[in-house]
Structure 1
Amino acid sequence: MAKKVKSKRACGVLMPIFSLPSKYGIGAFSKEAYDFVDFLAKSGQSYWQILPLGPTSYGDSPYQSFSTYAGNPYFIDLEKLISMKFLDKEEVDKVNFGSNEIEINYARLFKTRYEVLYKAYVNSGLSDNSTKKPDEDFKKEFDEYVKDNAEWLPDYALYMALKKRYDGLSWVEWPEDLRLRKKEALDAANVKHADRIRFHEFIQFLFRKQWFELKAYANEKGIDIIGDIPIYVAFDSADTWANPKLFQLDKKNMPIAVAGCPPDAFSRTGQLWGNPLYKWDYHEKTGFKWWINRIKSCYELYDVVRIDHFRGFDEYYSIPFGDPTAENGHWVKGPGYKLFEVMKKELGDIRVIAEDLGYLTPSVIALVKRTKFPGMKILQFAFDAREESDYLPHNYVQNSIVYTGTHDNETTLGWFNTIPREDKRFAKKYLNIKSNKDIVWEFIRATFASVSNTAVIPMQDYLGLGKEARINTPSTLGKNWTWRMSSDAITDELAERMLDMAKTYGRCSNV
């Protein structure tokens, strides 16, 4: 199923879909996405790394999604729906999506996007409120999609319909018979909300159809997609509501403990994510079926999968439910290699990146080594003048992916401008930087020159942007996940410079 792992030196770009320029308020599977693929191919890249594609919930984070399987409706290209005559261009152009070329307004999108997509649904002929019959080929393709995704789609579509009915309330605040999934209540809800359920099936069908077209285009151009799978699912999600046995919940389906991270450099009180924790003994009894299906679904969407918070498979941080911070949590043993043993047996030679950042115990290091998955190296973490760091390039191993920074880091320019003077001096000495003119490119050069098989650079670093272009600041709410690239940012000159860097250090896809 999965392609053979690439072993040659390569490079790629980290760029979220939502950060692409486009006409209607947020990056999408639009012409601009195809232009970005062309740009990657022209600049000698082998990979396009994106963030999770799921529908976002409170806080707009792609790591807190309403579903581990569903796609984000905001990414559906409205211009394609106009060309299919599902939407009227003049009507769509009048809608205020909070369009700002360099920033996403999620509040406006939430208020407007679903209304526009519902119009497309009605005009497709699939709705009970349609005045025409759907195109036969379109209807056949839609029905096949619904049938092929019966394992998760009905639960998700009903969940979203009920979210609408109860004004966005978490499922734990729904009437008890729905919260506990009593059969009679579910049957009645499926009848009562049939049109809204089909609407969400329609959205997911469009999402998959458009994404697969974009992915196929990228693959034809020699670009593989690196996807991102959060280790945890959101508590307020179709996954938790529909599968309570998989999680550490009490008899009322409330969490016993939740996920997070202990106090660290990012936060002195730790990170309280609030995700439900897995009931790993139950997963093991089922042969990790849910996890196998989840990973299998990922390899339909992506060529390579980055598994977020890989440490959680060795040991996970358990915080008592209701605690205001993560300070009182403790570490508990996870499934370890048993999960990956089953995964490799069921799925074969899959291409995985292990997000092994942060404090690593000997057992985590041993687990990553045993899986043979490449780990991550972050150049920004290297320059602590007080001590030798594993993140300095001379300490890398080939089986690794090196980044200047990730979506959770400041841009390289923003970071460099704020670090202590001693660290800045050390970085300049190590990288032989004589002036600040091209400082970001010297960081990029260091990643490319390293022994790591793959170097991935955030698009903001190639553009030389500062703190205004940061994607996410961990442990904060507001102003995250909003950065967008300007429509004139990618140029032939930039592609040429990136191509030259890739050729110089043996990472070019075109040779």
Structure 2
Amino acid sequence: MIPWRPTGPRRAGVLLHPTSLPGSRRLGALGEAAFGFLDFMRRAGLRVWQMLPLGPVHEDRSPYRSLSLDAGGEHLICLHQLGDAAWWPGRPPAGMSHHRILASAAHRFIGQADADERESCRSFIERERDWLDPYCAFRVLRRRYRGLAWQQWPPVWRDGADDAVARLNRCAADELQRERVVQFLFDRQWRALHRAASTCGIALFGDVPFYPALDSVDVWRHRHLFQLDARGWPLATAGVPPDAFAPEGQAWGAPVYDWARMAEDGFAWWRARLRVQGARFDLLRLDHFRGFEAYWSIPSGAAAAHGSWQQGPAAALFDALAAEPGLPALVAEDLGTITPTVEALRRAFALPGTRVLQFAFDGNPANPHLPRNHEADAVAYTGTHDNDTLAGWWSHAPPAQRDRVASMLGLSLRSCNPQRLIEALLASPAALAILPMQDVLGLGSDARMNVPGRALGNWQWRLRRAAPIAGCADPLRAMLSASGRLQHRS
């Protein structure tokens, strides 16, 4: 694992998931808009692009509840980027879904790709086979059973994922190969974006969800690593107790880990996960870091508030990760109920923590989220994907809170506004400051990405056009320069 090094010039970055880039959802996100966004970042002086998890999503589109923790989201593949290949006829057919177009593209690739492309695809399949084949089998079976959760499949497919892969290799080889090719197409487009980012001096910052979804290939294939009954249903589920985000707590529905079983092979499952994501990103955020020290376990069928804290793997897991070569630097998302033992775990492995400006103004002058209290070893945000936008938060703040914000930042109430709040964050000692793109653009609550605990309407926000982004590059660059976060490439 590469250690975090906060020394050197302070940097600034932006939080924007690719699905929020302008363009048609039907055509995918890893195309012209993504490369154009890199150009905007270069001109603005931003050096880190943070995203949410990239996996294939369920119907609710949550990046944190994907069908696979390792696979790339097919919905992100840009159909226009396929147009340069000889095996692809050009413009995507009108009226055809993104999924059907990709299936057609994969079929054409198998029959018409040239020798170099076929060799690249073969190499990808061999390199990623450990997660790729089970995922492709999972997709084939899920389609066969019309989207039913794997626990509802016939036992011959439900039980024994590796045997199911072997059987499908005999009876559905063409379907499996098409799924493999789709993942190859994602990988090729992602690598092109990563190369372009590196050329611009921009690091890509990924996100590692703490739990997989119950209906995922990860749980189907690794049932022994989770607390499940004989049919694969959870004995206990994950969540968090009541907090500022959700007064009744949150029940996520994900199965909790059997940490004792995971420890038996040195946490191989976690090491493999981070190797896959480490090949895609330069930095990785560990979501729900406090769960590594102790996790909230909710008995099956109970409300979130009726759960209890259970011991996590703590240092044993991070000792294993520290010995794993080639992993990128890790950042702890240490929000929520943080105890001294959670803080001690983070510090023991020199992981930077997370600071959020919107949490800074409770009246406590020692609040760690106050910009003046930030440590260099921190990643500071105006807000995360779970917060309201800064403009929305400010517009809903009662007068007493606005007075407190202005006072704690040393501003007059008249001059205190979202832009001044951004300037205060950028001026902090934190080595890295991340601004959600909605805050850069000054957008209100209707641009919020997620409301924790709300089942519907999340993950939808998308820029309608690129022009607003282009127009804020110069003002943002001036703000970064004034705060000492503008890095000049040699």
TM-score interval, normalised by the smaller of the two chains: over 0.9
- Tell which deviates more after alignment, 399-408 or 349-358: 349-358
Cα separation, 1, equivalents of 2:463 and 2:237: 35
CA change 1:320–1:498 in 2 (3 A) is same
Tell me what 1:360 maps to.
338
Which runs of 5 or more structure 2 residues have no equivalent in the other structure? none
1:115 aligns with 2:100: yes
Q: How many residues align?
A: 488
C-alpha distance after superposition, 1:262-311 (max 9, x if no partner): 11222232100011111111111101111111111111010000000000
CA change 1:286–1:222 in 2 (3 A) is same
Cα separation, 2, equivalents of 1:188 and 1:396: 55
Tell me what 2:378 maps to.
400
Q: Secondary structure at the match of 2:13?
A: strand
Cα separation, 2, equivalents of 1:202 and 1:5: 38
Map residues 77-88 of structure 1 onto 2, 5 A cutoff. 77-88=78-89
Q: CA deviation at 1:184?
A: 6.3
Q: Give the residue type in structure 1 aligned to 2:236.
A: A
Cα separation, 2, equivalents of 1:369 and 1:27: 40
1:377 aligns with 2:349: no
**Alignment counterpart, residue 194 of structure 1, candidates 173, 176, 180:** 173
C-alpha distance after superposition, 1:154-181 (max 9, x if no partner): 1100000000000000000000121112
Cα separation, 2, equivalents of 1:15 and 1:423: 28
Map residues 216-295 of structure 1 onto 2, 5 A cutoff. 216-295=195-274
Cα separation, 1, equivalents of 2:245 and 2:18: 26
Cα separation, 2, equivalents of 1:10 and 1:85: 42
> What is the root-mean-square deviation in Å for CA atoms of aligned residues?
2.1
Cα separation, 2, equivalents of 1:90 and 1:29: 16
C-alpha distance after superposition, 1:355-413 (max 9, x if no partner): 00012111101111111111000000112248863211222211101100000000000
Tell me what 1:107 maps to.
none
Q: Secondary structure at the match of 1:63?
A: coil
Q: Secondary structure at the match of 2:130?
A: coil
CA change 1:186–1:213 in 2 (3 A) is closer
Tell me what 1:129 maps to.
none
Q: CA deviation at 1:67?
A: 0.6
CA change 1:3–1:489 in 2 (3 A) is farther
Q: Secondary structure at the match of 2:65?
A: coil
Tell me what 1:329 maps to.
307
Tell me what 1:148 maps to.
127
Tell me what 1:104 maps to.
none
8 A contact 1:263–1:271 mirrored in 2 = yes
Which runs of 5 or more structure 1 residues have no equivalent in the other structure? 97-111, 127-131
- Tell which deviates more after alignment, 143-152 or 347-356: 347-356
**Alignment counterpart, residue 447 of structure 2, candidates 461, 466, 469:** 469
Cα separation, 1, equivalents of 2:161 and 2:282: 39
Cα separation, 1, equivalents of 2:59 and 2:317: 30
8 A contact 1:258–1:277 mirrored in 2 = yes
What TM-score results when the alignment is normalised by the length of structure 2?
0.95
Tell me what 1:66 maps to.
67
Q: Secondary structure at the match of 1:327?
A: helix
8 A contact 1:67–1:239 mirrored in 2 = yes
Tell me what 1:53 maps to.
54
Tell me what 1:488 maps to.
466
8 A contact 1:19–1:26 mirrored in 2 = no
Tell me what 2:40 maps to.
39
Tell me what 2:95 maps to.
95
8 A contact 1:3–1:303 mirrored in 2 = no
Cα separation, 1, equivalents of 2:462 and 2:88: 25
How many percent identity over aligned positions?
36
Q: Give the residue type in structure 2 aligned to 1:473.
A: V
Cα separation, 1, equivalents of 2:169 and 2:216: 18
8 A contact 2:4–2:351 mirrored in 1 = no
CA change 1:115–1:349 in 2 (3 A) is closer
8 A contact 2:79–2:92 mirrored in 1 = no
CA change 1:141–1:463 in 2 (3 A) is same
Tell me what 2:478 maps to.
500
Cα separation, 2, equivalents of 1:465 and 1:192: 52
8 A contact 2:134–2:161 mirrored in 1 = no
8 A contact 1:20–1:27 mirrored in 2 = no
CA change 1:148–1:386 in 2 (3 A) is closer
Tell me what 1:215 maps to.
194
Q: Give the residue type in structure 2 aligned to 1:210.
A: Q
Map residues 162-177 of structure 1 onto 2, 5 A cutoff. 162-177=141-156
C-alpha distance after superposition, 1:308-332 (max 9, x if no partner): 0000000001011222x21110001
Q: CA deviation at 1:348?
A: 6.0
Cα separation, 2, equivalents of 1:47 and 1:180: 42
CA change 1:436–1:21 in 2 (3 A) is farther
What TM-score results when the alignment is normalised by the length of structure 1?
0.91
Cα separation, 1, equivalents of 2:92 and 2:414: 49
8 A contact 1:319–1:328 mirrored in 2 = yes
Q: Give the residue type in structure 1 aligned to 2:465.
A: S
Q: CA deviation at 1:350?
A: 3.8
Q: Give the residue type in structure 1 aligned to 2:272.
A: N
CA change 1:399–1:120 in 2 (3 A) is same
Tell me what 2:16 maps to.
15
1:427 aligns with 2:405: yes
Q: Give the residue type in structure 1 aligned to 2:16.
A: M
Map residues 173-184 of structure 1 onto 2, 5 A cutoff. 173-181=152-160
Tell me what 2:31 maps to.
30
Q: Secondary structure at the match of 2:296?
A: strand
Cα separation, 2, equivalents of 1:353 and 1:236: 27
